[in-house]
Structure 1
Amino acid sequence: MTNKRLILTLQPDVLAICRLDPATPLSSDMLNGNFVAITKTDEELSIICPQTNITDEAIYTRGWRCLRIEGPFAPDTTGILAAVLSPLANANLSVFTATTYDTGHVLVREQDLNQAIQILAQAGHTVRSENKATAPHAIQ
């Protein structure tokens, strides 16, 4: 599956990756936006949300952009994330991922976005913004 050419769509929000105490109650404000991901363990509550939604008690890193891999894919489909992450890793770009039942989301630093898009296009993928194809060139 790693040879498959995928379509990724750039999501509009600039995101933050936040860490909170696992007992922190969720604010409804943190859930606003085009993309929000929540993961809780016994040690932490991690939330990816628009950076405008960060709460005061969060430890966070700002300036991430999300590329949604267009699916859906069955949860047992192999190689989807690898097809996207391998070329980015080979270029030494930092990434953060989140998955849903239907697909995967790859976050890259905002300052690396154009380079990431070029790398993905060179790997045979298409990156879209506002439903317009942008491969093989970076989004303007």
Structure 2
Amino acid sequence: MTNKRLILTLQPDILAICRLDPATQISADMLKGNFVAITKTDEELSIIRPQENIPDEVIYTKGWRCLRIEGPFTPGTTGILAAVLSPLADAKLSVFTATTYDTGHVLVQEKNLNLAIQILAQAGHTVRSENKATAPHAIQ
């Protein structure tokens, strides 16, 4: 695990984690938003996206907030997600993750957002909202 102090930025959208049949065609509407992540396996298609306008036939959970770990990091960098996930897991907070080539994204339920930010600050990380650093126990 890395001892590096990380900077995370709270993303603006409230997100839904959607589960679809793997054969589902993805509409352009499903791709709208500041943050959309798609993962497909032979068993399911998962899309993380803003929670507005989810089609009725989609299974989903809503009310998630995304903290982007500021990078970029090379794919060979180790311990970045662990440095963020370990303190949240120790506090028994449920998380969902998505990674890109350059960085990672950690989703926490909106009802747990302030607690997650406090825990991350106590672990030595900085959480930003609107490009401003937060105080150790609150979002500015």
TM-score where L is the length of structure 2: 0.97
How much does 1:138 deviate?
1.4
Q: Does 1:24 align with 2:24?
A: yes
- What does 1:29-44 align with in structure 2 at a 5 Å threshold? 29-44=29-44
How much does 1:57 deviate?
1.7
Structure 2 SS opposite 1:52: coil
Distance 1:8 1:15 in 2: 17
How much does 1:81 deviate?
0.1
Unaligned runs of 5+ in 2: none
Contact residue 32 and residue 53 of structure 1 kept, 8 A: no
1:76 is matched with: 76
Contact residue 118 and residue 137 of structure 1 kept, 8 A: yes
> What amino acid does structure 1 have at the position aligned with 2:57?
E
Q: How many residues align?
A: 140
Distance 2:124 2:118 in 1: 10
> What amino acid does structure 1 have at the position aligned with 2:11?
Q
1:132 is matched with: 132
Q: Does 1:97 align with 2:59?
A: no
Unaligned runs of 5+ in 1: none
Deviations 1:56-75 (A, max 9, x none): 22100000000000000001
Structure 1 SS opposite 2:52: helix
Distance 1:3 1:13 in 2: 29
1:14 is matched with: 14
Deviations 1:99-138 (A, max 9, x none): 0000000000000000000000000000000000003121
* Superposed structure 1 runs of 4+ greater than 2 Å apart: none
How much does 1:91 deviate?
0.3
Distance 1:53 1:109 in 2: 19
> What amino acid does structure 2 have at the position aligned with 1:51?
Q
How much does 1:53 deviate?
3.6
How much does 1:82 deviate?
0.2
Question: What's the Cα RMSD here?
Answer: 0.9
2:121 is matched with: 121
